[in-house]
Structure 1
């Protein structure tokens, strides 16, 4: 774990430096047009914090390739990491079994009762963090040329997400914000944004905030502007909107986002006070993004319905 904390501190120091130099989050530049980072040998996308770390490194190095793989994976395919290239560290958490001293296999306790399975996991299974070193496709010789994905933004699908959220949107404000007391999102009209993508990126950011309502994901969202707790929630919404935008092909720049000095300073302060806050935010943002993306295919209950359901549950519990 010590190595992971050391790698995290080093990475967050670079993020803070980019916030101070770039006046915004460096990975916003164009990564959405390339799609999420993925492993070409498994064809699986990197999620959560690994997505953020690889996207950051990709934009920092101005890579046009979103493929990342280990040295061994490259060798197995007769590709060769270029001399002098430095790897990027990512993290994976695996479950281990104290009793068998091997990676935990759920099938090994499938014959036990539910209570016995819970007791076994509590007594014997633990999470173990591991780091892996990966290289970008542009750092590797003989790898097939990267074919940039043709990503077309389907704004109808994003409109469907907004519609199905059942969170009221009002285009009547100079600034964009989510009111947790009224469960409403207020924004400037779309014509006042620098681009269509900037408008939708902001809408998804505010929609991410709305998931924090106590009857949805129940986060601490009643925070004073400029406070550290406010900065933490802003990071969660920012990372979430990035994941969603990346998934839907939306791209926008820091200029589009119009990050204010106050926002940036609050983020920097929060990360300097606790470097691990970046990774806490990334983990939570992944859950937030998945929830918002699920709206596309499922109409969400209104706040009135959520309150009614809560009251019914409380009534049954009496």
Structure 2
């Protein structure tokens, strides 16, 4: 791993500021990026997808700057591949948590105990579009984009949802998950303009389903008070965006969820680390859902469901 940048940059604030700008523009960065920047989630130089906040942030940066390549790397990694970052190009943040232990004395007893302190570290990466001399595989070919056939996409959609043991009921004109009775309610399929939109909505509700107390047990009330539900909606929207990207589905900010944008903005402005936690929880939820199937929609191996609890933020 390249040496971390040790400058006193407030990286959490920089990331949050970009996400806020995209929300204010009406372009949630978990909704649009894969359609305008090369067809999928950001990749490291070795082809491994980014996760957590790096996934969300680099998607937003790529969308904001108009990059077409999915690949990101450090200067040293580019040089190892025969490339060279162009002069005056600006790097983007890639973050990870590090930690150290320190002894702290109990004020009452004087007894010393070890405390683990976590802190955010970062280093700079560059998109392949900022680098000369890389192999052609790191760049997007100039050819017409071909939409996958509906039947091929439908098989992937059906396989993904069929493996998840959620209680899904159909009827009425609302889509929601009820944690009290632990089931997903969806309108009938025929009520949607397309099966893609049905699947996109079901992705959102299934992310909610993953947070039930008997599964990933997401609770935010102690941290965000009366904004807890808005935060859960933020996690579900980000998670649905990741899910739709894997299934190659359109993901639109549904009217019913757009009402939360103002609350999301207030949360992000009040807590600069909130988007990092939300992205981590969304990634954890998708990892949990994928673990029910024999393999990822893209063909990659899936970790065991229990490992979702320890999903990384980087």
SS in 1 for 2:260: helix
Shift of 1:61: 1.7
Of the structure 1 ranges 125-134 and 149-158, higher mean CA displacement relative to structure 2 is found in: 149-158
5+ long unaligned stretches in structure 2: 103-112, 296-314
Return the TM-score normalized by structure 2. 0.74
Question: Alpha carbon RMSD of aligned pairs, Å?
Answer: 3.2
Instruction: Give structure 1 stretches of 5+ with no counterpart.
Output: 99-121, 299-318
8 Å contact from structure 1 (residues 4, 130) kept in 2? no
Task: Say if 2:68 and 2:140, in contact at 8 Å, map to a contact too.
Answer: no
For the 8 Å contact 2:175–2:201, the answer to whether it is kept is yes
From the two aligned structures, give the one with the greater helix fraction: 1
Q: Which residue of 1 aligns with 2:189?
A: 190
1:132 maps to what in 2? 123
Match of 1:272 in 2: 269
> 1:180·1:222 contact (CA, 8 Å) conserved in 2?
no
Residue of 21, 26, 31 corresponding to 2:34: 31
CA displacement at 1:183 relative to structure 2: 1.2
- Separation in structure 2 between the aligned mates of residue 233 and residue 55 of structure 1, nearest angstrom: 21
Matched, 1:44 2:35: no
In 1, Cα distance between equivalents of 2:251 and 2:235: 18
- 1:66-97 CA distance string (max 9 Å, x none): 00001121123331212222111011235679
Q: Could you say which structure has the larger radius of gyration?
A: 1
Contact 1:208 1:240 in 2 (8 A): yes
**What SS does the corresponding residue of 2:177 show, helix, strand or coil?**
strand
Alignment match of 1:71 (pick from 56, 72, 75): 75
Task: With the length of structure 1 as denominator, give the TM-score of the two structures.
Answer: 0.74
Q: Distance in 2 between matches of 1:49 and 1:79?
A: 26
The higher relative CO (CA closer than 8 Å, separation ≥ 6) is in 1
Specify the alignment match of 2:180 in structure 1.
Answer: 181
Distance of aligned partners of 1:90 and 1:293 in 2 relative to their CA distance in 1, 3 Å threshold? same
Helix, strand or coil at the partner of 1:198: helix
Aligned equivalents of 2:192, 2:75: Cα separation in 1 = 44
1:57 maps to what in 2?
61
Q: Distance in 2 between matches of 1:283 and 1:3?
A: 24
